[in-house]
Chain A
Amino acid sequence: MIEFPLYIILIPFALVVILFIVFVFFNLYHLFGFGFLSFYSFLVTFLFLGLTVLILFITYKLAAPLDWMQIITLP
Chain B
Amino acid sequence: MLIEKQIPNRQKDENLVLFLRRHPIIIFSRWAVYLFLGLIPPFFYYFISINYPDVLTHPLGYPVLLLLACSLYLFIALFFLNAFIDYYLDVWIVTDRRIINIEQRGLFNREIAEHTLERVQDVSALQKGIFQTFFSYGDVHVQTAGEIQRFIFRQIDNPFEVVRVLNNLIHKHEAEFDNRLFETIKDNKTEAE
Contacts and interface: CB of A to CB of B under 8 A. Distances in A.
A interface, over-half SS: helix
A27 B74 contact: no
Interface string A7-37: 0011011001100100110111011111111
Contact of A38 (B4, B60, B75): B4
Interface stretch (B83-91, B120-128, B151-159, B184-192): B83-91
Given A35-B2, A59-B70, A9 B88 contact: no
B74 to A, nearest CB: 5
B70 A55 contact: yes
Contact of A27 (B62, B64, B67, B81): B81
Contact of B66 (A17, A20, A59): A59
A36 B3 contact: yes
Contacts of A1: none
Nearest to B84: A44
Residues of B in contact with A, size category:
20 to 34
Nearest to A15: B71
Contacts of A9: 60, 63-64, 67
Contacts of A20: 74-75, 78
Contacts of A31: 81, 84-85, 88-89
Contact of A72 (B59, B75, B78): B59
Contacts of B4: 36-38
Contacts of B95: none
Nearest to B6: A36
Nearest to B2: A36
Contact of A34 (B75, B80, B104): B104
B70 A27 contact: no
B77 interface: yes
Interface residues of A, number: 40
A7 B80 CA distance: 30
Given A36-B2, A36-B91, A41-B88, 18 more contacts: A6-B60, A13-B67, A30-B107, A31-B81, A31-B85, A35-B1, A35-B89, A36-B5, A36-B6, A37-B2, A40-B88, A56-B74, A58-B70, A59-B66, A59-B67, A63-B66, A63-B67, A72-B59
Q: What 7 pairs between A and B have smallest CB-CB spacing?
A: A38-B4, A59-B70, A36-B4, A48-B81, A13-B67, A16-B71, A55-B73
Interface of A: 6, 9-10, 12-13, 16-17, 20, 23-24, 26-28, 30-38, 40-41, 44-45, 48, 51-52, 55-56, 58-59, 62-63, 66, 68, 70, 72, 74
